[in-house]
Amino acid sequence: MADKMATRQAYGNTLAVLGSKDENIVVLDADLSGSTMTKVFAKEFPERFFNIGIAEQNLYGIAAGMAISGKTVFASTFAMFAAGRAFEIIRNSIGYTGANVKICATHAGVTVGEDGGSHQAIEDIALMRSIPGMTVINPSDGVSAAKLIEEAAAIAGPVYVRLGRAAVPILYSEDSDFQIGKAITLREGSDFTVIAAGIMVNEALLAAETLSQQGLSIRVLDMHTIKPIDEEAILKAASETKGIVTAEEHTVIGGLGSAVAEVTAKGHPVPMEFIGIKDVFGQSGKPDELLKAYNLTAEDIVFAVGKLKR
């Protein structure tokens, strides 16, 4: 198994596998198949692949129509253009109708890098989880991306899958089991809990190891499904540990941290810290530099746990 893989690559590979098993699956793209990796499906099943062009609103309108006609539709573009440019179409044509469309959006977050703030979707989770009936998934590695996309294909209704541009460490083995709506405990701990999603899961594990050398026992949860969120796992962590840090490559407004806080505020209030982008836009730069600039590193998680200790 590769040490690293981009979640978008896992998506492309998985689409081809799903396409070979289910002739009802169709794939749409906004002239970005080389980047979203839907090109893998297009090569294998050209008659079921549709390049709609640089017209995302049209892309998701067509996706809705095909889904309502009985197809299982995977429709891809960059996260900024899906969640942003096409929001109203996704809300009214896909969300409102409950259409069976899987919105698999790549190049999310600041790790898009040099493309800069105009292309760095940092609000997409907040937007998509606000749509009634929308499932929202943010895989942490190539294995989880593949497994969760398979799960998404198996359920009826709209799903938003957040995928990244850069290759990220493989955290799971091929026999790992994933279920939409159920967090995975990657590390048990009794002092504090870090709840992370996407690329921040690896940073959470690195932080937990550092903190263990300081004598702290850190629980790490991979909250791969932001909606429906695993309330049971959150409340268990809130009651069994002294505080929670959330970590996401997304604005702290309306994303994973907000979703977790909504659960704890009602069910078990607990001290919390939020690792995420603090109400600012992204900027152009190399991915690693941007993660440091926006305090999205293991060191920042360690610091946040330290604040909860005080």
The residues that are catalytic are 56
Distance separating alpha carbons of residues 68 and 25, to the nearest angstrom: 13
Q: Which residues contact 158 (CB under 8 A, 6 or more apart)?
A: 90, 94, 95, 98, 99, 100, 101, 102, 103, 131, 133, 134, 135
CA 100 to CA 118: how far, in whole Å?
A: 29
Strand 72-78 and strand 218-222: pairing? Answer: unpaired
Torsions phi, psi of 298, nearest 5?
A: -60, -40
Q: Which SS3 state, helix, strand or coil, does residue 59 take?
A: helix
CA dist., res. 240 & res. 6, Å (int): 34
